[in-house]
Amino acid sequence: MTDLMKRQSLKTLGALTGGLSLMSLTGCNPAPTVMQDASDAADEALWQQADAIIASIAPTSFPAQDFPITDFGAVGDGHTDNTQAIAAAIAACATAGGGRVLVPAGRFMTGAIHLKSNVNLHLQTDAVLSFYTDAAHYLPKVFTRWEGVELIGYSPLIYAFEQENIAVTGDGILEGNGSATNWWPWKGVWERRNWDYDASVDQVQTRTPIFQMAEQGVPVAERQMDNDFLRPPFIQPYRCKRVLIEGITIRNSPFWLINPVLSQDVVVRSVNCVSHGPNSDGCNPESCNRVLIEDCLFDTGDDCIALKSGRNNDGRRLATPIQNVVIQDCVMRSGHGGVVMGSEISGGARNIFARRCRMSSPDLKRGIRIKTNSVRGGLIENIYIRDIDIGEVQDAIVINFFYEEGDAGDFMPEVRNLHISNLQVAKAQRAFELRGFERAPISGVTLNHVHFKQVESLGLLDNVAGIAHYDVTVNGAPFALP
């Protein structure tokens, strides 16, 4: 078993992060923020809110009793179907008032796992939960959300619905077995496709009609199709309270890796997200309140962290923002974006804090990214980002109002109070991609102590009403709006 297959402390991640220094991995600031003007003092006061959010998160707590899945007939031989044995262990644990459902060393094959309140699914060292790739193992279908739209679809690999005090923890591995022959071909056309295109399993034949149903206001219970090619997310707590995901390694997911939806008090800590398939987003909290994501590694085929709140009319129907989120001390490698908001952001986003993160990879497309359009809309406000080191990236800071459909709707996206401070970018193709609408230009952006050391171009600044900035340099020269 390789080191990547085990839980890694930040002090031992050097080999996994493309040469980032030990200091950059331990959560230390790359350099103290120099207090030079009044805005710095205001920035410090704002960040007290991040500490307050962390303190407000209600923690999980479990009785000190264990339920090994092997006591319920599970066999870790890589062949036996352990779906029912794991379900029996979870049921027994919940009936007894809660505790840990233990997965010992071995390779345990399984289908969908449904957590119950007060259950901690705990993978011990050298434990692997290996999930089947046939859709039949994820039936019956459940109430779920897929790309920001509620529907009745395949069960996520690990799912909880309206449960409280749940966890997935330990040093083991969750193996989704996504590949060029399993799950991923349902994506259809993809820029990095290494499979032969098969129109008969292309997700568009499910995705398009389901999204149309949502736009037409069809009740969620009726949004389901027999011809279903929507890949399930890996871990999805839905309308849950007090959720902990800690220590595990998640690999080769069919779709998004960690996807809490409409949940409260969510902690994702010290998790390794390693999946390079289509839509392999690392952690996508949707319409959640009080979320902490810390000390995690993201090496993914899509956004590392993407904060979301529903797509188009369905997001506006629920009208629940993603809010009160703290992201800290994470390492981002490959991905479409490091810290991202959108694109399913119709319910809005507010009070988002990201600090002490380290990003670097020639395959990292964007560092800080906001993506929306006038079909999505969404108010994105009170976003605070500081002490970020970016080694190598294609585009460092991106706010794009033209994502996917572009300016094709009546719902103006709006960004308010985006503050970025103490951001260091060693190498980028472009410093900025800022694309607003002529009728709704980008505004409300403040940059303090931001330094782009080596960039090929300033990038695109289109329909930007103004950027307040202090101590910002590009290739060693003071920054000025063109």
**Residues noted as catalytic:** 302, 336
Please give the structure tokens belonging to residue 295.
């000390």
Alpha carbon distance 272, 253 (integer Å):
12
Q: Are 18 and 359 in contact (CB under 8 A)?
A: no
Residues linked to residue 169 through DSSP beta bridges, in sequence order = 122, 246
Q: What is the DSSP pairing of strand 467-474 with strand 477-478? A: antiparallel
Rounded-to-integer distance, Cα 334 and Cα 366, Å: 10
User: How many angstroms separate the CA atoms of 384 and 295, rounded?
Assistant: 18
Among the listed residues 468, 420, 410, 465, the one whose alpha carbon sits nearest the alpha carbon of residue 442: 465
Q: Please calculate the CA angle 165-166-170 and round it to the nearest 5 degrees.
A: 135
Q: Which two tokens stand for residue 455?
A: 């960039």
Q: 124: exposed, middle or buried (C-beta count within 10 Å: 0-12, 13-18, 19+)? A: middle
DSSP class of residue 15 equals G
Nearest to 13 by CA among 406, 374, 358, 366: 358
DSSP per residue over 454-479, as a string?
SEEEEEEEESB--EEEEEEEETTEE-
CB-count burial class (<10 Å; 0-12, 13-18, 19+) for 392 = middle
Q: What is the CA radius of gyration of the chain?
A: 22
